[in-house]
A and B are shown apart, each in its own frame.
Chain A
Amino acid sequence: GAGVSQSPSNKVTEKGKDVELRCDPISGHTALYWYRQSLGQGLEFLIYFQGNSAPDKSGLPSDRFSAERTGGSVSTLTIQRTQQEDSAVYLCASSPRARGTSDTQYFGPGTRLTVL
């Protein structure tokens, strides 16, 4: 079946502009996660959605970052007034999270964001 997809695959923007990154999770997966990876670094957690529960936003680095998940499926990560330090690969993952299923997180290919 289809895996996690993300768009765009690459995004170049100017400092101060807003960007929107999209994630389509695997169908039926109730949990959705956003991470980011700066050059040569490990992954940093940003936000987590689980079903209809309030999202865990504890990883968002500033109030310029926000995310929503509509209809329990597609998610959009929005970065307002981008800064150069926002340049990174933004990775989305989904997980089944139903009772008795695996905790494995399945990752999309990522969006490489470059802020000039």
Chain B
Amino acid sequence: SQQGEEDPQALSIQEGENATMNCSYKTSINNLQWYRQNSGRGLVHLILIRSNEREKHSGRLRVTLDTSKKSSSLLITASRAADTASYFCATAETSGSRLTFGEGTQLTVNP
């Protein structure tokens, strides 16, 4: 069953704008990871945040985690057309366990 639920399901923005995607989950977790997928094939790992962390940055990406609300957000700043992809959050209940993925957010960045 899918634990993570992303919202929105689809997001269309102009180049240079910021994109925010949200993810909610149901069970307790060890860590939460965000992945990007282009054209329905391999996933590219973006960032991992552990349950004892609240915020993490990597380049233009900023991830927050609120374990009390069981939610996370991914912010992409100064978006580019190349950021167009599907973005998935995935949770691991224990270290190294299987990942449970959400349905994903389709992001379109218009030039």
Which chain B residues lie closer than 8 Å to A104 at the CB level?
A: 33, 45, 48
Q: With A102-B48, A103-B48, A103-B95 given, is the CB distance from A110 to B100 under 8 Å?
A: no
B2 at interface by CB-CB < 8 Å: yes
B2 touches A97 (CB 8 A): no
A33 touches B40 (CB 8 A): no
A33 touches B30 (CB 8 A): no
A91 touches B92 (CB 8 A): no
A83 at interface by CB-CB < 8 Å: no
B92 touches A103 (CB 8 A): yes
**Interface of A: prevailing SS:** strand
The B63-111 residues at the A interface (CB cut-off 8 A) are 88, 90, 92, 95-104
Which chain B residues lie closer than 8 Å to A108 at the CB level?
A: 42
Q: Determine how close the nearest CB of chain B comes to the CB of A57; give it in whole angstroms.
A: 11
Which chain A residues lie closer than 8 Å to B60 at the CB level?
A: none
A31 to B98, CA, bound (A): 10
B24 at interface by CB-CB < 8 Å: no
A59 at interface by CB-CB < 8 Å: yes
Which chain A residues lie closer than 8 Å to B88 at the CB level?
A: 42-43
What residues of chain A have their CB less than 8 Å away from a CB belonging to chain B? 31, 33, 35, 37, 39, 41-45, 48, 50, 56, 59, 89, 91, 93, 95, 97, 102-110, 112
Top 9 closest pairs, chain A to chain B, by CB: A109-B42, A43-B101, A42-B101, A107-B43, A45-B98, A42-B103, A97-B96, A107-B42, A110-B41
